[in-house]
Amino acid sequence: MNLLKPAEDRGYPAEYLISRIRGKRASLISDWTPLVFGGAPFEYSESSLQRGFVTELSPGGVWRDLMKEYRWVYLRMNSELREIFKPFFLHLELRTIFICLRNIKGGKTGDTRDVLSASLLSEDIKKVLTGHGDILSAVRGIEKRFLTLSDAFAGIADVCEREGLKGFERELTVRYLVTTVRSGPDPLVKNFFVRIIDSRNIISLYKYIRLGPKTVPAFIPCGSVGENMFLRIIERKDIAEVGRLAGTKNAGPGQLNVEIALYRKMTAFLRKAGRDPLGIGPVLDYLWRISLEAMNLSILYYGRDLERETVKGELVH
């Protein structure tokens, strides 16, 4: 069963899409200073800076435009490229699934249909998310569909029953990441997902050391950070080692922003991959960059009343 929307193979060669993406990539924001310090970042859509994919600077508007841009890339891929990037697109659609499940839980079925209008999920999955009035029936439907990918998804609906929707979201995400890496995708795509697993492990370590919860975080396998190192950092509560893994240098505990450091580390990795004229790097680099642009614009929107230097420090580029 294909969990993503089937699309016609229009016969575009990969070089055609990569050429179009290079042009689009040049239109993305490279200098955020005018938007941070210009006084009215939410006038972005009317400014001369608007050459990219975002047309409405609001949380909902940015997300819809991002999904439309993902869709634009997806529909212009040939069948070979689409197969390579299927793990990436399904991973980003996990967020769509979770939003819809929260809407079901809250009785907001109208919002669910609006969210799915821009989604790349298959019609079968969309029916699961719109055809159930209770959360447990919906998550059982999701489990059934994901079992077509791997037996590793068996029992995730039971997690929702025991731990609630938050536990289900965590478990589905972790099992998807591990299953994807173990399935042996394209080397660059695999490296991308290995780094996502590393990021989740490193953030768990940081939160455990800084916040001191009683429960030791669970280790996610298949990353480049081994379990022995993970447990050693927990035992020693070595915040400096966490910073090193995240890619920061000379940052004290109070200065360490692990999530931003990890975003920047991934950006540097994909930017390098994006310079490869022969591979799929430019496509993955563009998909990552538009997600960062959407995230940064959302930060500008929510941080419009905050001190400007604080907002600038939260942006990733």
Q: What is the mean pLDDT of residues 50-74?
A: 83
Dist CA 139 CA 105 (whole Å) = 11
Residue 18: predicted pLDDT: 92
Residue 41: predicted pLDDT: 52
pLDDT band per the 50, 70, 90 thresholds, residue 42:
low
Q: Return all residues near 61 (Cβ < 8 A) that are at least 6 apart.
A: 54, 55
Residue 167: predicted pLDDT: 96
pLDDT digits (tens, 9 = 90+) for 88-134: 999 999 999 999 999 998 887 777 888 898 899 999 999 999 987 78
pLDDT digits (tens, 9 = 90+) for 18-35: 999 998 988 888 888 888
The answer to whether residues 146 and 90 touch, using CB atoms and an 8 Å cutoff, is: no
Angle between helices 187-211 and 227-236 (to 10 degrees): 20
The domain ranges of the chain are 1-23+52-185+283-317, 187-279
Higher pLDDT, 113 or 156: 156
pTM: 0.92
pLDDT band per the 50, 70, 90 thresholds, residue 147:
very high
